Structure 1
Amino acid sequence: MSPTFMNLVHINSTIYSTQTPLNDSNVEKTVYEFCREMPSVIIWYLGLQFINMFLGIPANLMVLWLIHKNKGDSSTSDIFILQLALLDVFFCMTPPLELANIVFLTSSIPWYVLRFFYGIKDTSPLFLACICLDRYMAVLHPITFTELKDRRHRAILAAVVWLVVLAYAAAKCKGDIPNFEKVFTVIILTTFAFMVFCNIAILWALRQSGPGRDEMHPVKKRAFKMVLIILAIIVFNYFPPVALFPFRAYYTDKVFRCYIHYLAFGLMDFSSSIQPVLYLSKDKLVLSLALCCKKKEKSPIFTSNTTQTGV
């Protein structure tokens, strides 16, 4: 039995998980062959995916290391950042299989594996929403935030999100659930609106933090930095699919599948690299390396070695 277009063409979102076969579905084609008239965006998309692999994996591993190393002086949001980094490490391992699936393979087996991983990535904004919620409570409801500073409820929330993520990924992998594409639409639009609301509310509250103050409260200053990071991720990575997909009717089917689809999800998937890089840019990596070098300078072994080499 020949694969349908759903099995032949790599689809990154549940929006397209129930596509009907093309008129020429009896002829097996790779995605690249189907989009041979407009391959530039696919090449660009694959380039981003491999940047994700070579940059995203070490960056996310560095985030995991920093959170583990500084768990005595960590943010309450770090539990969600840790889960997001774990999720992105797994996702960043997919580019070799995706390249083979797009350019060379017509089998449906790799497609089922990719659908599971992309189901995980589709729901990654839920952890960003948890970070926004945590920062929102810290700034706008500090008394309640202080009472709930115990991380037990955050661990429970993270576990619930993981259950949703895995259930969604498993359902997407199955691929034949009627109207399942609407689930992704609801998730991305609701999460996007929630994150924007939280961040705008936080920025407004920080703006009203009191006249005549040269120094912002440390908790609010930390929240402000986190808000800027989340806003950058939202605008650059998650706004394109929200902005482009409602206008699908204005594009031809081929343009949408070969161009708009890969453009929007290429930017969304690139968040797997941008998220850890922005997190590391908050002076944490520089501070850790400085402390490490300082310890080495005080070490007798280090002093001995530098004396012998004449440095």
Structure 2
Amino acid sequence: MTHSQPNRRLFVLGTAMLPLIAACSKTSNDYDGTSGNFTPYQAGGETSAATRPAPTNSPTVAAAGNPVDKPREWPGIGNSLVGDGKYVAWTVDDGASPEAIRGYAEFSKRTNTRLTFFINASYTGFKEHVSLLRPLVQSGQIQVANHTYNHADLTTLDAEGVKEELQRNEDEIMSMFGVSSKPYFRPPYGRYNDAVLKAAGEIGFTRPVMWNGTTGDEAKTSSRVIYMRCIRYMLPQQIVLGHLNYETIIPILDKVKGLIDDRGLTAVTVRDYYGDASEEEIKAAAPSPTPTPEENT
């Protein structure tokens, strides 16, 4: 069974708020406009993604200044921040715009807003701004998580292809920041299936993170519409999706932060809220050892 979040390419026209289409998918719209939540998409077949520009034991970062008193239990698929609370996870994907990367990083540094970047390290903007980003990443204020190297639709790849996309991205992240992205990853277009989860888990990516709201900044949407979406989705216990691909949102980041503050919410990273994978979780996902000839006799 293949799962997907809704289509990333449709957006609000004029002043009417059409049913919101979350980013990172080319599948049909399955947004439930009455409930304000996204429902998993079960594809009957593969949908090709739009063309877009060996595991290591790597250190993770201690989340300095983590506002969450203790990690919550991981739910299996991270569609939201489970449990009661007044937290919001503001996540941003991709990295096509160096200016957007810099804008978000400067905003985080200036306001102490905690963000989760699900990056494609194939984009050069991260290296361009690595000196700005590295202290924020190493302190845990910005969590860098894995979104594959080339923004590949993982459901179209075999197990080795899935591992290559995630591991290549992990290697680049380690090279730039000295911090592992494990165990968190976001499958591009929100598309995954059991084979993807198995392959990812075998190299330490045991925690797929989805979303249940979006800023809608995946295209050249106006800042007014983006802010309307923030009003709708910056709510308690939401995982909100944004992008590092366009600069439209950058001038209103402080306004969005004001909205979060006015609602009494605290922005957290996904790692802040759920912590790191336990040894038991990692071992359970690891591939079974190949039997020796003696064991087969």
TM-score (norm 1): 0.27
Structure (1 or 2) with the larger CA radius of gyration: 1
Greater per-residue strand proportion:
2
